[in-house]
């Protein structure tokens, strides 16, 4: 019985458990992580996740700007702000066309919200790439809508209403401007 020592038995068991844990935690050889060699410290690149279940999501809302206007798209395609909540043209359908990208269409008039290359906001009956907007929830709880297709001098161009309720050109907008912040209000 002199060959059995409780301390040796415990050390051997611990070593065996550690070995099994380390070898089971290793990644298979075919899934080697990519490392950016230009970076002074190695970073692991993460794979983009797929959120296809969010595509096609439809919401009916009134877009209320932080300067107290409801966005409306009239029967003639004119985009403007209205102080009246009851305006039928202020009810819009916000449809997710890609993850984080939406198309906005007036329920009553049927016009899509669009922005052209010069940053002009307008309404159009035909859906086109000009109708895509990147929707982002800002820290203050409001949403911003930037043109998916167009940029100005490398900066995004945002949907914005000025203090008179008229659309501002996207070339003059920044995400920090309160005029670009909209609150999607439930339709009641």
CA-based max dimension of the chain: 99
Q: Which residue has the higher pLDDT, 14 or 120?
A: 120
Q: Which residue has the tokens 């939406």?
A: 102
Q: What are the distances in angstroms from CA 100 to CA 12, 95, 110, 134?
A: 54, 10, 22, 6
Position 188 scores a pLDDT of 77
DSSP 82: E
Position 39 scores a pLDDT of 41
Identify the structural domains of the chain with CATH numbers, from first to last: 59-186 (2.80.10.50)
Q: Structure tokens of 128?
A: 């086109």
Quick one: average pLDDT of 136-158? Answer: 93
Q: How far is CA 35 from the centre of its chain?
A: 27
Q: Structure tokens of 53?
A: 């279940």
Residues 71-110: pLDDT tens digits? 999 999 999 999 998 888 999 999 999 989 999 999 999 9
Q: Which residue has the higher pLDDT, 187 or 48?
A: 187
Position 15 scores a pLDDT of 63
Residues 23-56: pLDDT tens digits? 555 444 444 444 444 444 344 444 444 455 556 6
Q: Can you tell me the distance from the alpha carbon of 24 to that of 13, in angstroms, rounded to the nearest whole number?
A: 17
Using DSSP's 3-state secondary structure scheme, residue 119 falls into coil
Q: Can you tell me the distance from the alpha carbon of 177 to that of 152, in angstroms, rounded to the nearest whole number?
A: 16
Contacts of 148 (CB under 8 A, 6+ apart): 101, 129, 132, 133, 134
Residues 49-61: pLDDT tens digits? 445 555 668 899 9
């Amino acid at each position: 019985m002199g060959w059995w020592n409780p301390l040796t038995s415990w050390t051997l068991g611990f070593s065996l458990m550690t070995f099994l844990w380390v070898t089971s935690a290793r990644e298979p050889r075919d899934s080697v992580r990519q490392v950016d060699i230009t970076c002074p410290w190695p970073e692991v690149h993460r794979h983009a996740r797929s959120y296809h279940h969010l595509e096609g999501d439809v919401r009916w809302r009134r877009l209320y700007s932080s300067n107290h206007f409801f966005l409306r798209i009239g029967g003639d395609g004119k985009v403007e702000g209205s102080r009246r909540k009851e305006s039928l043209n202020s009810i819009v359908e916000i449809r997710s066309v890609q993850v984080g990208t939406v198309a906005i269409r007036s329920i009553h008039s049927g016009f899509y919200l669009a922005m052209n290359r010069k940053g002009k906001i307008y309404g159009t009956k035909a859906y086109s790439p000009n109708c895509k907007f990147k929707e982002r929830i800002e820290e203050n709880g409001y949403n911003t809508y930037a043109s998916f297709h167009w940029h100005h001098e490398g900066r995004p161009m945002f949907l914005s209403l000025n203090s008179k309720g008229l659309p501002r050109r996207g070339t003059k907008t920044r995400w920090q401007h309160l005029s670009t912040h909209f609150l999607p209000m439930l339709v009641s």
